[in-house]
Structure 1
């Protein structure tokens, strides 16, 4: 662990990391309480927009005090960085459990949903909508109980995210795809979709691109058949297409669940469900922050908030429980003219476009921040797939860069008098390889600003097995306000290429622009699309 650290805590080890932050296991010096500290990474921590979002997450969490929600102890902000000190839950994520053991029993799935509804209900009562409920954000303890974590994109009830669309697509309610104001109904939908995955081992909808997933959530019938018959009504109510048709508030849905569970599985359904969850968690004990089951401590109750020192403090009494908090804030992508936030460290979801051979993926996979979001169709229109990233010379998918091509020919032996045979060189099917991509600077003022930078140099290192660097066609692409722009990059020798991103219009809010480099060789092979480099466009000018 390197870089700035919160004083008063002894770091133990890193629990996870993402594009925008890391999570460390630490111990409070004064009380011995183990905690999870969520740090913003240096570059993003210097971004005022991301600091504002990080601070907002702390404000929202500070108002929630419920045993089914991972608590906030302290928020710290200083010139060196920003961090949230969280309760440490000694357990594993529901995602880890599903991947390791597959579907749960109906009683266990009902226990997860019950705990989730209790936690969401506590958040909603404080005016907070989670907006990113999914198996990664549910933590299961050694006792089989569950806690809700990671409020990285939470918002107050009724607040609009403007042009941005946020969430994880496999669990997003139909209205969430349209950027509707934050509503408890979208959390109810996501919790029910996760309940379905507990029962069946896969999300309710499995579209292979964003347009298909959006259509499935909005129009496809709720897939109750793979689930046990007694829970069909819960699925239909919780995943109703119209928000008003879902049971609200969460306590109403919780009462419905308990009546159904008792009728279908008997009065001791919860005891059996928790016992099974505890058994499954125990099989993954090696992944616990404290595998031996220890890690608690007692601290005296005290509450103190202070902004003058740049440090807010909230300490609680009682035995500190555990925590394996997922890594980092959600990273934003552009969805046409809107921002689509995906939680990090998930499996990729391909963008809409021409079909190509795919490697098998796990059915429980969820989209990640590295996915390229296609344009959002306007209401009442038929969405059309985005064009492919670059033209392909053949209908076959190119092999990964650097993969050797081997051709084996078997023929009858030539007679002594026959002339030696000749064979043509194998076709060029290897795509160029794009190496390190960088942007300098990574923050821009809009056009017309007199002091701050208004352009950024995008650089990349590109190589190919046959085409000389000078004959490669290299460009970068970015999407802003729903329009995708391609900019040619010039060769700087030794495989380096440069281009300029700049003179951009003033956005309504800080906008994080993903920039991707694509290279095409003389045979028409296009490089595979890699992870983007991000440039933040600010809505105001740097003061002079």
Structure 2
């Protein structure tokens, strides 16, 4: 049987692969937009736990809207496979750059840290902890900007998903299996920052036990770093989460202050130029180069047969979690005996459906004033360049913008591939669709007039299904209110579809609502969410 591919896309070549999955370069047939398609490994698609984690990764990406995080276009799940279709980043992995060029210099290291911290800040703001920040998951573009990728083992803040991560970058509390927290991401980002400064990791070990002991109790190795940035190293690598910046946004504020004082107002531009120059030395690693791009785009980080410094797959993690916890407990006890152990809202979500397992609902927006203005739509983007790389956007960074789609007041993001009907898959004949469920899995306010939602549809067949998404505004909690536009589109060729939506509201109601329905009708009927958007509105 031929290998399954996502309907509606034409693939050109593989960008990277591993036991957990592979990433291919493809083009959306309707719009011509280049994309990266991440496939779940064939050996894993029969494991329900792997499929759930893969699905959860897509949902996390769909909930994030940041220029520093790779964007989700859609998630497709079929009897023969599952795939995440995402923005193509024409860049190289920071790991490749460090392996070939060594230390980047302090200003470039600060730029890498700031860019990826801003990506983490978007995740932390949505209640998500990445848990696997490392150079492999930071992409450096040709203009020197950096982007965060691969949310394969992300977890909700405060959840206890167990021991997971890449050992060389795991915070002390991660080794204990404590609840996921943004401070652990700050720690991993600082480890990567240290590696950019020195060309090596702060702690090394021949096995998990040695790494655990060093991360938990060894002194912070700041002496080999420039004195001007040592406060960042000390803060970010503090042994207890309370002594670190509590989230990425707080760390960015400290970084800006320290970098500006140490290197002057032009440090960021000089750092970007330095990164761009280093990346230019590795032209064949860019997806647009047409050569082998292994490692330039994120694949599953939790791969089978993990080598040194990599954590095992979810199934094996469950087996090893207890062993690791016992080893860490013993190490801490030994270290202690040796004296070395370091000791009134503006928005309210009202959901009528439950979220997918494994990832929390996207939190409602914060107090009025914390919701920024609606994001400006991207400028029209020329066709992809002959090399296959996305054409530069307004800032010079690669973009993958498709022509915007509109229907009434609803506007699809310019970076969203068209929701036109997908062609039938080539590997099987479509069966009549029976819709098991339709869910609005998240709904949040993104600006004074704009909102974003994520819709998930599960079917028992691969035949065509019509999805209707309707938007409403009103002044009464629990009632839809007045219609504010709708979007209707077709899907076929798979058994699960997940995609993000955006909408600009025209009505003046205090409550915004979104409803998703299908034809054939779903077993659960419809799914509706409502959002209270500003102060002074009735809440009961």
TM-score range, shorter chain: 0.5 to 0.7
Give me the TM-score of the superposition, normalised by structure 1. Answer: 0.57
Partner of 2:137: 137
1:416-455 to structure 2, matched below 5 A, reads none
Contact 2:117/2:189 (<8 A) preserved = yes
- Whether 1:239 aligns to 2:237 is yes
Cα distance in 1 between the residues matched to 2:231 and 2:12: 46
Cα distance in 2 between the residues matched to 1:23 and 1:267: 39
Cα distance in 2 between the residues matched to 1:36 and 1:223: 38
C-alpha offsets along residues 305-329 of structure 1, whole Å, 9 cap, x if unaligned?
xxxxxxxxxxxxxxxxxx9422225
Given candidates 273, 279, 282, the residue that maps to 1:281 is: 279
Contact 2:20/2:304 (<8 A) preserved = no
Partner of 1:377: 326
Partner of 1:325: 297
Partner SS for 2:288: coil
Partner of 1:440: none
Shift of 1:292: 8.3
Cα distance in 1 between the residues matched to 2:217 and 2:175: 13
Contact 2:23/2:36 (<8 A) preserved = yes
Given candidates 186, 206, 211, the residue that maps to 1:208 is: 206
Contact 1:39/1:328 (<8 A) preserved = no
Partner of 1:27: 27
C-alpha offsets along residues 494-514 of structure 1, whole Å, 9 cap, x if unaligned?
xxxxxxxxxxxxxxxxxxxxx
Partner of 1:56: 56
Contact 2:18/2:303 (<8 A) preserved = no
Shift of 1:384: 11
C-alpha offsets along residues 56-110 of structure 1, whole Å, 9 cap, x if unaligned?
1111111001000011111001112110011111010000000110001100000
Contact 1:46/1:81 (<8 A) preserved = no
Cα distance in 1 between the residues matched to 2:77 and 2:259: 46
Shift of 1:130: 0.4
- Whether 1:191 aligns to 2:189 is yes
Shift of 1:378: 6.0
Partner SS for 2:26: strand
Shift of 1:380: 5.1
Change (3 A) 1:12 1:376: same
Partner of 2:227: 229
Partner SS for 1:167: coil
Change (3 A) 1:232 1:82: same
Contact 1:23/1:328 (<8 A) preserved = no
Structure 2 runs not aligned, ≥5 long: 335-540
C-alpha offsets along residues 343-390 of structure 1, whole Å, 9 cap, x if unaligned?
x5xxx33xxxxxxxxxxxxxxxx34649997654366534899xxxxx
Contact 1:108/1:272 (<8 A) preserved = yes
Shift of 1:186: 0.5
Cα distance in 1 between the residues matched to 2:37 and 2:19: 16
Cα distance in 2 between the residues matched to 1:328 and 1:380: 29
Cα distance in 2 between the residues matched to 1:156 and 1:120: 13
Partner of 1:37: 37
Structure 1 runs not aligned, ≥5 long: 294-322, 334-343, 350-365, 386-544
Name the count of aligned residue pairs: 325
Cα distance in 2 between the residues matched to 1:375 and 1:56: 25
Partner of 2:249: 251
Cα distance in 1 between the residues matched to 2:68 and 2:97: 18
The more displaced of 247-256 and 84-93 is 247-256
Change (3 A) 1:21 1:131: same
Change (3 A) 1:383 1:253: closer
Give me the TM-score of the superposition, normalised by structure 2. Answer: 0.57
Cα distance in 2 between the residues matched to 1:192 and 1:122: 18
Partner of 1:404: none
Aligned residues: CA RMSD: 2.4
Cα distance in 2 between the residues matched to 1:7 and 1:379: 47
Cα distance in 1 between the residues matched to 2:41 and 2:186: 32
C-alpha offsets along residues 414-457 of structure 1, whole Å, 9 cap, x if unaligned?
xxxxxxxxxxxxxxxxxxxxxxxxxxxxxxxxxxxxxxxxxxxx
Partner SS for 2:326: coil
Partner of 2:447: none
Shift of 1:281: 0.7
Cα distance in 2 between the residues matched to 1:2 and 1:101: 40
